[in-house]
Amino acid sequence: MLTCFVLINVNAKMEDDVYNGLSAIKEVEGIREVFGQYDIICRVEGKNLKAIRKTIINDIRNVPGITATTSLMTAE
């Protein structure tokens, strides 16, 4: 199982909507609001890189209110 952290920028005042949208994605294992350059960070689990890529592109980036993502793959 691979883990990826996704750093997320959100439109102003849409943090709750984005949090709820991310919560509905089964591959998202954890979500935290943060302060600074990013607004939310989430942990994504997948069986391989292809599965994580699919989750980020097809699911996370399509959550309304998300303006940008930065993905950080963890080392084994």
Q: Is residue 59 part of a domain?
A: yes
CA 7/CA 55 separation, integer angstroms: 14
Q: Is residue 75 part of a domain?
A: no
pLDDT at 76: 73
Dihedral of CA 18/21/23/27: which sign?
negative
Number of domains composing the chain: 1
- What's the whole-model pTM score? 0.93
Q: Is residue 55 part of a domain?
A: yes
User: 10: exposed, middle or buried (C-beta count within 10 Å: 0-12, 13-18, 19+)?
Assistant: buried
pLDDT at 75: 85
Q: Is residue 9 part of a domain?
A: yes
CB 31 within 8 A of CB 42: yes
- Give pLDDT tens digits along the chain (76 positions): 999 999 999 999 999 999 999 999 999 999 999 999 999 999 999 999 999 999 999 999 999 999 999 999 998 7
pLDDT at 49: 95
CATH assignment at residue 43: 3.30.70.920
Structural domain of 39? 2-70
Q: Is residue 76 part of a domain?
A: no
